[in-house]
Amino acid sequence: MKPDTVVLDPAQQAALDALEALLDPVDGRLSPGGHSARRTGPFGIPRLAESGGRRSRALRGRRAARGNQPGGSVERDALRRYRAGIYLHGRPGRGKTMVMDRFYGAVRTSRKRRFHFHTFFAALHAATHALGSVERAIDELLGGADLVCFDEFHVTDIGDAMLIARLLEVLFAEHRTLVVTSNYRPRDLLPNPLFHDAFVPTIELILAHLDTVALDGPLDYRTRTPHRDTGFLAGRYVLTEGAGSAPPRVEAGARAVAARADPHDIERLAVDVPLGNGRTLRARTATDVITVDFHDICAVPTSAADYLLLAERYRHLTMGEVPPLREVPPDWAMRLVNLVDVVYDADIPFTIHASEPPHDLTAGVPLIPDLARTASRLGELPLTNASSVRAV
């Protein structure tokens, strides 16, 4: 890796060392990892025998192994002799994304792709529907990429879990090098006890192919980063009346932005914003700014694909009337998690009007570990109160 001005803590350096082990120490290309008996493609990535039949031969071989061995134990043992990448996990704010991006930038190949998992999964859904198969959709989205990086990999829905299982099976069968970051340990994916057991075979597949690396140092660096008035952080976290006393913290030059996005101050008529497939979202819009109430977007069946669409259309998103998440159904809370992830990754200003501060807002909700990440991200926003915003 080329040196830069970023000083890594010991946990970050250990994670980066694990990622660097995937590279050839001489030329910085992806390394075949010492498995010279396998055929290799460009950049030393192991490949299956013939082009054109790579996927089908791999899948047939895997199915045959399962059929010939009770429980598939021989297949799993064979898989463990080849590690296809890194599964990097830890609590929010520990630097997982920074470390992965540093590694990604150092890999000397153009045959690499990096995605936020929300973005990729929404595209995979659409491409699978359009093309008729997961395999064709993956080829369409990844092309000839030998290195695939997913930021914030997660599995929280049983319906999504089935498609994710198929995605991973194809990626591993094609011997692409995979690097993911996640707030979850592999064993904690799909934490809902009603569905977790159904996902255990896929967890075993992940453990068979990927080296698991914990990046979980003591510091949440998001709480130590100087505030900036651009992108996501140009928004505000506004405590509504009755939420208790909290000192306003409105940076110079940003008051007008916060006031502009205040759903109580801007005179706009509610409209039905199209989401696709004939669905609409009740919201207030003004050119490239949109304001929506929590119940209108989280209490109805919306998805990450809808939030991605909004992030593409608008340059500032405001959400009003957000209640304590312990008082709403878990699927409503999960939609807020997904929305914050999408807006954060798109790096557009986000203003939220809520009755409690971030960590109180997300406290007391079982089975949604992602809420820790949501609280961390919302905690980066300058905190103010409704009276201060409207007084600007």
| Tokens at 134, concatenated | 């997961």
CATH 3.40.50.300 given to domain 10-214: yes
* Domain boundaries, given as residue ranges, for the chain: 10-214, 226-391
The residue ranking higher by pLDDT, 244 or 22, is 22
Rounded to whole angstroms, the Cα distance separating 378 from 350 reads 9
pLDDT tens profile 177-213? 999 999 899 999 988 888 899 999 999 999 999 999 9
For 226-256, the pLDDT digits (tens) are 666 789 999 999 999 754 333 333 333 334 4
Q: Which is more confident, 228 or 172?
A: 172
Percent of the chain scoring above 70 in pLDDT? 73
Tens digits of residue pLDDT in 321-353: 999 999 999 999 999 999 999 999 889 999 999
Distance linking the first and last C-alpha atoms of the chain = 48
Question: Residue 61 in 3-state DSSP?
Answer: helix
DSSP state of 62: H
- Residue 6 binned pLDDT confidence (cut-offs 50, 70, 90): low
| pTM of the entire predicted model | 0.67
- Phi, psi dihedrals of residue 209, rounded to the nearest 5°: -100, -30
What span, in angstroms and rounded, lies between the C-alpha atoms of 160 and 157?
5
Core vs surface per residue 63-75: b (16+ CB within 10 A) or e: eebeeeeeebeeb
Q: Phi and psi at residue 214, in whole multiples of 5°?
A: -90, 130
Share of the chain above pLDDT 90, in %: 53
SS3 219: coil
Contacts of 222 (CB under 8 A, 6+ apart): 92, 93, 376, 377, 379, 380
Residue 375 has pLDDT above 80, yes or no: yes
- Spatial separation of the C-alpha atoms in residues 47 and 204, rounded to whole Å: 22
